[in-house]
A and B are shown apart, each in its own frame.
Chain A
Amino acid sequence: MNAPTTTLTAAPAAPVPGLARALGGVWRLTYPEFFRTRRLLVLAVVCGLLFLLTAQNVRHGQTEFFYRWVVEFYLTFVLPSVALISAAGAIRDDMASVSIDYVLTRPVRRPVYVVLRYLCQVVCLLVSSLAPLAALFGVGIMHEVDRLGAMLPHLLLAQGLIVAGFAAVGFLFGALTTRYFALAIAYGMMVEMGVGQIPTQVSKLSMTHHVLAMLQPLVPGARGMHAPESAATATGAILLFVAVALGATVAVFSMREFTGAGTAEK
C-alpha cells in the first residue's frame, strides 16, 4: 500500500489559551478526583472520628473547653495536617505521567498551571473541610455550647487561612520531594510547634501563630502568647506565606524535567 501524501493547507489558527478557560480546564480535572466516592468515604470516616473524639472529651456546657479543643486540636493540628498532605499529594500527582503527558503538553505555562491548580485545590479543600467543622458544631449543639453562631465566621476565616497557608506549603514540599510526608512532620515539629511557641518575634514565622493571635480576642478559650492580631494582619501574613511558598513551587515546577512514567522525575 502506498503511503499517503500530505498536502499542506492553510494552518488553522492555534487556539489562544486564556486564563479563565485554563482555570475551567484545571477545575474540571481537579474536583472529580477530589470528590470521588472513595475520598468522600474517607472524609465521612474522619468526620465521624472527629465527632466521637470531641463528644468524648467535651462535657455538657463546657463552652471554653469546647472552643479550645476546636482551636488547638482541629485548627492547629488536624486541619493543617490534612491540608498540607492533601496538597502535597496533589502536586505530586501532577508530576506523574497522567498529568504530564496530557496536561503539561497543552499550551498553558507551567507557572500559570501551578497557580490555577493551587486555587482549585484550595477551593476543594475548603468545601470538604466544612464537613469536619459541621461535625464539631454538631457536638457543640449536642452539648449546648454557647455562641456557636457568633463564632462561626471567625472559625471559618481561620479555617480558610489555615487551608490556604498549609496547602501552599504542601505544594512546595510535594514539588520538592516524594518524601513530602517526612518533610511535613519535620516542618510541623520545627516551625509550627517549635519556633511558633518561642515567645519572641521569631514565632511569627509560624502560620498557626498568626491564626491563634487572630482568634485570641474573639474566641473564648483561644490562647495566644503574643499580642493579638487583627483579621487583616493575620490574613496579610498568611497570604505572604502563600506567595512565598507558591513562588518557590512555581520555580521548582517550571524548571523540573519530567522523564515520564511516574518514575524518575529529574
Chain B
Amino acid sequence: MTPIIHAENLSRFYGLVLGLNNVTLDVSPGITGIVGPNGSGKTTLFRLLTGQIRPSSGRIEVFGQVPWNNPAVLARLAYCPENEAVPAALRPLDWLVALGQLSGFAAREARARGAAALERVRLAPEHWKKPVAKFSKGMKQRVKLAQCLLHEPRLIILDEPMNGLDPMGREDFSAVLRELARDGTSVLISSHILHDLEALCGAFILLRNGRIPRASNEAASAEARRRWPAATTIRCDDPRALARHLFACDLIRGCEIQDERGTLHVQWSDSDRFHADPHGILLASGVAIHEVRSTASFLERAVEPSLTP
C-alpha cells in the first residue's frame, strides 16, 4: 500500500535542542497512533507534516510532495493542535466559516459545512452563540475537531485531541474518527491516553527523544499485538502457593508476590502455553482465583522507559 507519509533520515533541531533525530518512517492509510512522552518529537513531526517548519536534514513527503509552503498538500490535510489557543472574539460557526473560506469554499457552503461539522462533533447548538474562547476545554476540543472536518481532508493530524474530554466525549471523538477512517480519511493521532489509542489505531509509531526506538516499535507492531501478554497479574487467596505451582509447571521466569493484597505478578517464560489452557493450569493449582488480568497493555509495555533504542 502506498504510504501517505514518507520520511527518510528526517532530523529537526532547534539550535542545540533536539526535535527529531534521523527518523525514517512510512505511514499507511488508516488510523495511526503517535506515542511518546513529552518532548519526544511528536509535535515537531506534526509541524513538519503541516509545513510550518522545514527539516534540518533528511526528507519528508505527504501525499508524495514536500509539505513546506505547499498549498497542494495543505488542501488535503487538516491539523488539530494541542494548544487551546482560539480566537478571542469569534463564535464557533463564524470561525469555521472563515476557515472554510480560506479552504476555498463560498461563504454559504462554508456555513453549511461548518454547521454540519459542529453537529458531527456533537457541540450542542445552544453553545454556538458563545465565543469559542469562553468554552470549556472539552468544548474547545470539539470545535477544534470540527474545523478539521470542513474540507473533507484526506489526512487529519490530531495532537492530543482527547485532552480535557470526559469518557463520553472521548468515545464521541473515537466514533467520529472511526467514521472518517471508514470513509477513507487517514488519521494521525497522538495521545497520552494509551488504551483509547489501542482501541482506535491500526498502527503505531513510538517516539522517544526524537528517535523511533526499534525495540519499542517492535513491541507495538501488529505482530506483537497478536502475541499473548508477557506478564499477568493474578489476584487469589494464596499467591505463594500459586507461584510455586506455576514455577513447577515451568511456565514463569519471575514473579512478585504482594501478600497484603493477595496478588501475584508473573512474567511468563512460555506465555503461549499458559494462554492455551489458562483455566486448566490455574485450577490445577488448587488456589481460589479472583481476578486475572494483563499487567499492562501492549502499548504501555512498548512505551516503558526501560526499553531503550
Contacts and interface: CB of A to CB of B under 8 A. Distances in A.
Interface string A1-31: 1011111110110111110011011101100
B127 interface: no
Given A101-B79, A106-B74, A5 B103 contact: no
A100 B74 contact: no
Contacts of A179: none
B75 A107 contact: yes
Given A6-B186, A97-B81, A16 B98 contact: no
Interface residues on A, range: 35 or more
A260 to B, nearest CB: 6
B57 to A, nearest CB: 15
A109 interface: yes
Given A6-B30, A29-B87, A107 B14 contact: no
Contacts of A11: 76, 154, 184
Interface residues of B, number: 57
Interface of B: 14, 29-31, 43, 47, 50-54, 69, 71-72, 74-79, 81, 83, 85-90, 94-95, 97-107, 110, 147, 151-152, 154, 178, 181-186, 199-202
B52 A21 contact: no
Interface stretch (A81-89, A128-136, A150-158, A251-259): A251-259
28 contacts: A4-B31, A4-B178, A5-B181, A6-B29, A6-B182, A6-B186, A14-B104, A21-B102, A24-B107, A25-B98, A29-B90, A33-B87, A36-B89, A97-B85, A98-B85, A101-B79, A102-B81, A106-B74, A106-B99, A107-B71, A107-B72, A107-B102, A254-B69, A259-B14, A260-B43, A261-B83, A262-B85, A266-B53
B54 A257 contact: yes
Given A25-B101, A105-B50, A258-B47, A266 B14 contact: yes
Contacts of B85: 96-98, 101, 262
A106 B103 contact: yes
A51 B107 CA distance: 40
B101 A107 contact: no
A103 to B, nearest CB: 6
B102 A5 contact: no
A257 B98 contact: no
